[in-house]
């Protein structure tokens, strides 16, 4: 039983890709991130090279995987018993700097304890999130006035500040340059606006399809347009578009500290899958 770490995306997908694709809902972040790296290169998220890894059990089966794309926390699948300590040791040995860890709560706590014991760097809870998968889509009824439309490059000056405001509201641990995000999203029509009376009032994104799964996000409504159903409507529109395009699974994440958004997605037909925690490492 051992961890293998590599900076080679091709090797990672050849070895651990089948494991990740076997559960595309729970592994949506890893799968979308690797699609982005394939499409935009290994510097898609940062100039610091990403790191990939997998855990091979005693019978040779791949039973866990990791992905670290700085500046984000290291992302872990569920960990088999006994895998956390060897992982922390392997990451320390390769001198990897980690801002935090994202995983199921028990796995995150176990890994953080091992990391702290080796590095003296403690972990503090930063965010708890819930993964949802769409069951039967229930469109808002009645819908708010307006209609959805695909965002385009001409909307850059509008959407850029919205992305900055969204990152600030969620206290994004690793917010990216909005210009880079927009370039990426526009390349595959990954942003949709809800527009009423010629004015854009809400935004919803869809990440690159990966293993038959589409993950919705971000979803943002400027403060002056909230509580009117625009966010719910644009989310429903993007969700329906993903289904129409052939997605087998449509998923999204919510911050558990925001009960309003969680209730909105439940009304749209999304159902909880699992909870995760982000632990931030510090002194």
Per-residue pLDDT tens digits for 46-97: 999 999 999 999 999 999 999 999 999 999 999 999 999 999 999 999 999 9
Q: Tokens in use for 89?
A: 């040791």
Q: Answer yes or no: are the C-beta atoms of 5 and 53 closer than 8 Å.
A: yes
CA dihedral (150, 234, 159, 125) positive or negative: negative
Q: Could you tell me the pTM of the whole model? A: 0.94
> Across residues 200-225, what is the average pLDDT?
97
> Across residues 237-244, what is the average pLDDT?
98
Question: What pLDDT is attached to residue 267?
Answer: 97
């Amino acid at each position: 039983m051992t961890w293998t770490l590599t900076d080679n995306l091709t090797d990672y997908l050849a070895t651990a890709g089948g494991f990740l694709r076997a559960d595309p809902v729970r592994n949506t972040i890893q799968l979308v991130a690797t699609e982005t790296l394939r499409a935009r290169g290994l510097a898609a998220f940062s100039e610091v090279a990403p790191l990939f890894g997998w855990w091979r059990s005693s019978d040779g089966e791949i039973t866990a995987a990791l992905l670290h794309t700085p500046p984000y926390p290291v992302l872990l699948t569920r960990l088999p018993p006994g895998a956390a300590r060897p992982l922390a040791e392997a990451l320390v040995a390769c001198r990897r700097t980690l801002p935090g860890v994202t995983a199921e709560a028990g796995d995150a706590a176990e890994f953080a304890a091992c990391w702290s014991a080796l590095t003296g760097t403690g972990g503090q809870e930063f965010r708890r999130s819930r993964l949802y998968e769409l069951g039967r889509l229930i469109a808002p009824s009645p819908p708010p006035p307006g209609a959805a439309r695909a965002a385009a490059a001409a909307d850059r000056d509008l959407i850029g500040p919205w992305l900055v405001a969204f990152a600030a509201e969620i206290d994004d641990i690793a917010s990216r340059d909005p210009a880079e995000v927009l370039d990426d999203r526009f390349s595959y029509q990954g942003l949709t606006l809800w527009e009423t009376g010629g004015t854009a009032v809400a935004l919803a994104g869809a990440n690159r399809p990966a293993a038959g799964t589409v993950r919705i996000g971000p979803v943002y409504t400027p403060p002056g347009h909230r509580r009117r159903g625009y966010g719910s409507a644009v989310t429903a529109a993007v969700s329906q578009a993903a289904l129409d395009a052939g997605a087998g699974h449509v998923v999204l994440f919510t911050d558990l500290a925001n009960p309003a958004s969680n209730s909105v997605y439940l009304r749209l037909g999304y159902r909880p899958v699992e909870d995760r925690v982000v632990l931030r490492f510090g002194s």
